[in-house]
Structure 1
Amino acid sequence: MREAAFVKQNKDKWSTFESALANKTNLEPDVLSNLYIEITDHLSYAKTFYPASNTAHYLNSLASQAHQKIYRTKREPKNRIISFWKVEFPMMFKQHHRELLIAFLVFIFFSFVGAFSAANEGDFVRSILGDAYVNMTLQNIEKGDPMAVYKQMGEFNMFLGITINNIRVALMAFVYGIMLGVGTLMIMLQNGIMLGSFQYFFYEKGLLWESVRTIWIHGTIEISVIIIAGCAGLVLANGMLFPGTYSRLESFKRGTKNGLKIMISTIPFFIIAGFLEGFVTRHTEMPDGLAIFIILASLALILFYYVIYPYQIHKKIPSHEN
C-alpha cells in the first residue's frame, strides 16, 4: 500500500487518539488501550514499509506519548465486566453489523427455501424434522394439544438440555468460521431450512398462529442469538480472508478475539431462551396478549442491545477498530 493511501485510510483514528492524549476527547480506558494497540501496529507497519518517513515519526511520537497515560488511567479489574457489557462489546460489535446482516439474510433466505420446499415436496418435512418428530406432532394434533412436545420433560431438565444444545449449535456456527466462513453459512442454511419447513408444517395443518404464539415465546431470542453466533463465525472468517494493513496472523487473532467476545455476549441470552422454553412455553393456555408481549419484549431486547445500543455508544465515543 502506498504511504498516501495508508495515511488516508487511518488518519481519522490517529486524530481521535491524539485528541484523547491531549484530553480533548474522553475515551474509556479499555477503548484507549485497544486503540493504542492498533496505533503500535500501524507504527510497526510504517517502520517496515516507510522507514524514516514523516508518518513513521508521527506514529512513534503518538505511541510514546500514550504508553504512560494508558497504564495510569486503566480501570481496576473489578470494573472490567461492567465495562465489557456497557462499552467495550457494543463499540466492537458496531464494527461487525455487516457480518450480522449477512448472517441474517442467509438465514431468512433459507427459511423461505425451507417453506417453499415443504410446500412442493411431500416428504421434505419428514426428511428435515425426522419421522419420529412428525409422527409425534401429528398424534398431539389429533389429541387437541399440538404443542404438547413442550410439556413432556420436567421444567428444569428441559431448560438445562435446551440451553446446552443451543450453545453447542452456536459454538459450531462460530468455530466453523475457520472454514473461510463456508461452515458458518452452512449452519445458517441448515437452521434456516429447518425453521421454514417447521413453520410450513403447522401452516399446512391450519395451526400457524398456534405455533407462532407458542414457539416464538422462546424462539425469538433463540433464533436471534444463533444468527448472532453466525455473525461471530463470519467475523472469524473475515479476519482470515481480509487482513487489511495487518499481517494475516495478526488479523486472524483479532477476528478470533472479536468472535469470542460476540460468543460470550450470547450466553446470557441463551440462558433466557432456555428458561422461557423450559418454564414458560409449556403454558399454552396463557392469553394471546401475554404471549405477544413476551415475543415483542424479547425482540426489542435483542434489537436494542445488538443494533440500537451500539449505534448510541458509537455516537458518544469516537469509533475505532478492535
Structure 2
Amino acid sequence: MNIQRWIARRETDWKRLDALLGQVEKKGIKSLKAEEIATLASLYRSVAADFARARTQQAGNLITQNLQSLTTRGYNQIYQGSRRQEWQAVKEFYRTGLPLLIQQTSGYIALATGIFLFGAAIAWWYAWQDPAFLPLIVPQELITKVRDKHELWMGSIVGIEPLASSGITVNNISVSFAAITGGMTAGLYTAYIMGYNGLSIGAIATLVGQNNLAYPFWAFVFPHGALELPAIFFAGGAGLLIARAILFPGKYRRLDALRFYGSKAVQLIFAIVPMLVIAGTIEGFFSPNPNVNDAIKYLVGIILFTLLVLYCSKKSKFTS
C-alpha cells in the first residue's frame, strides 16, 4: 500500500470527523442535524477501520496516534452519548411520562381502589355485627394480643429491621405482580386480591378500633401505607387493564389490545416497584420505631401522600 497516497485520500474524512467531534464535545450531540449525526456514525466506522489498517501497515507513529485519538473520541461520543440519551429518556419518563400514564389509567386504578375499599367496608360492617367474623380473617394470635393483652404486634420488627424490610418488600412486590398477572383471568384474580386485601385491612382496623388502639395502629400504617397502598392500587389497575384487553378489546383485535393495554400495565411497574421498595424500607426501619413520636409518623405519612398526589397530577408539557 502506498502510505502517502492512502493518507491523502483519507485525510479529508479524518478532518471532517475531527470537526464534528469538536462540535459535539463543545455543544453536545443536539447541536448536530440529523444528517450530521448519520455522517458522524459513518465516519467513525471508516476511521476505526483506518486505524486498524494504519497499525497493520505501519503507517507511522504520528498517523497511528492521531487515528487512535479520533477513534477513542468517536467511541466516547457515539456510545457513551447514547447511554446518556437513554438515561435522559428514563428521566423524562419519570418526570412527565409516568404521571401522564397514571392519569390515563386512573379509571382502572380507581376501580381497583373501589374493590379494595368495598372489601374493607364489608369487613368493618360484619366485624361490628358478628364477633365470630374476625377469626375468619385475622389470625387468632393477633386477636389474642390485641384483645386480651391490649398490645399491637409491630414491636416484633424492632431489632430485625433489615430482614423485616426486605421480607416486607418482597412480599408486597409478589402481591402486586399477582394482581397484575391476575388480569389474564379476565380480572377475576385481580379483583380477588384487591377484595381480600381490603377485607384484611378492614378487619384488622376494626379490631384495633374496638380495643382503643386505632391511634398507634394508624401511626404505624401511615408512613409506609402512604406509598404501599397506592402501589397496590396501581397494580390492581394494571391487572384490570389487561382484563379490559381480554373482555373489551374494542376496535382492536384481542391480541393487539393485549399488546396495547399490556404495555401500559408493564409501564406502571416502573411506579409500583420503586414505591414498594421505599415503603418497605420505611415499614422496616421507621414505622415501628418506638423512639419516633406517633404525631411525627402521621406527619410523614401525610407529607409522602401529598407529594405522591402532586406527582401523579403533574401536567405533561404535551397536554393543555
TM-score in terms of structure 1 length? 0.69
Tell me the distance in 2 between the aligned counterparts of 1:136 and 1:231.
35
For 1:122, the equivalent position in structure 2 comes to 131
Tell me the distance in 2 between the aligned counterparts of 1:221 and 1:123.
32
Instruction: Kindly indicate whether residue 204 of structure 2 is the aligned counterpart of residue 203 of structure 1.
Output: no
Matches within 5 A, 1:6-25: none
**Which residue, 87, 98, 101 being the options, matches 1:89?**
98
For 1:190, the equivalent position in structure 2 comes to 196
For 2:218, the equivalent position in structure 1 comes to 212
Query: 3-state SS of the aligned residue for 1:243?
Result: coil
Instruction: Kindly indicate whether residue 176 of structure 2 is the aligned counterpart of residue 175 of structure 1.
Output: no
- Relative to structure 1, the CA distance from residue 153 to residue 285 in structure 2 (aligned partners, 3 Å threshold; closer, same or farther) is closer
For 2:299, the equivalent position in structure 1 comes to 293
- Relative to structure 1, the CA distance from residue 140 to residue 280 in structure 2 (aligned partners, 3 Å threshold; closer, same or farther) is farther
Give the aligned residue type for 1:226: I
Tell me the distance in 2 between the aligned counterparts of 1:193 and 1:153.
30
**Which residue, 273, 277, 280 being the options, matches 2:283?**
277
Shift of 1:242: 2.3
Tell me the distance in 1 between the aligned counterparts of 2:217 and 2:272.
25
For 1:110, the equivalent position in structure 2 comes to 119
For 1:78, the equivalent position in structure 2 comes to 87
Give the aligned residue type for 2:92: S
Tell me the distance in 2 between the aligned counterparts of 1:215 and 1:93.
24
For 1:69, the equivalent position in structure 2 comes to none
Tell me the distance in 1 between the aligned counterparts of 2:85 and 2:193.
39
- Relative to structure 1, the CA distance from residue 216 to residue 246 in structure 2 (aligned partners, 3 Å threshold; closer, same or farther) is same
Give the aligned residue type for 2:126: S
Query: 3-state SS of the aligned residue for 1:187?
Result: helix
Deviations 1:211-243 (A, max 9, x none): 111222222221121111101111111122222
- Give unpaired runs (5+ residues) of structure 2: 1-83
Shift of 1:139: 6.1
Structure number with larger C-alpha Rg: 2
- Relative to structure 1, the CA distance from residue 318 to residue 211 in structure 2 (aligned partners, 3 Å threshold; closer, same or farther) is closer
Query: 3-state SS of the aligned residue for 1:214?
Result: helix
For 1:262, the equivalent position in structure 2 comes to 268
- Relative to structure 1, the CA distance from residue 147 to residue 215 in structure 2 (aligned partners, 3 Å threshold; closer, same or farther) is farther
Shift of 1:86: 1.6
Tell me the distance in 1 between the aligned counterparts of 2:223 and 2:86.
37
Tell me the distance in 2 between the aligned counterparts of 1:147 and 1:286.
17
- Give unpaired runs (5+ residues) of structure 1: 1-74
Tell me the distance in 1 between the aligned counterparts of 2:276 and 2:137.
24
Give the aligned residue type for 2:108: E
Give the aligned residue type for 1:88: G
Shift of 1:153: 5.4
Matches within 5 A, 1:30-179: 76-138=85-147, 141=150, 145-151=151-157, 154-179=160-185
- Relative to structure 1, the CA distance from residue 238 to residue 196 in structure 2 (aligned partners, 3 Å threshold; closer, same or farther) is same
Deviations 1:14-71 (A, max 9, x none): xxxxxxxxxxxxxxxxxxxxxxxxxxxxxxxxxxxxxxxxxxxxxxxxxxxxxxxxxx
Tell me the distance in 2 between the aligned counterparts of 1:76 and 1:151.
42
Tell me the distance in 2 between the aligned counterparts of 1:97 and 1:148.
33
- Relative to structure 1, the CA distance from residue 108 to residue 148 in structure 2 (aligned partners, 3 Å threshold; closer, same or farther) is closer
Tell me the distance in 2 between the aligned counterparts of 1:167 and 1:108.
20
Aligned length: 237
Shift of 1:104: 1.4
Give the aligned residue type for 2:318: I
Identity across the alignment (%): 24
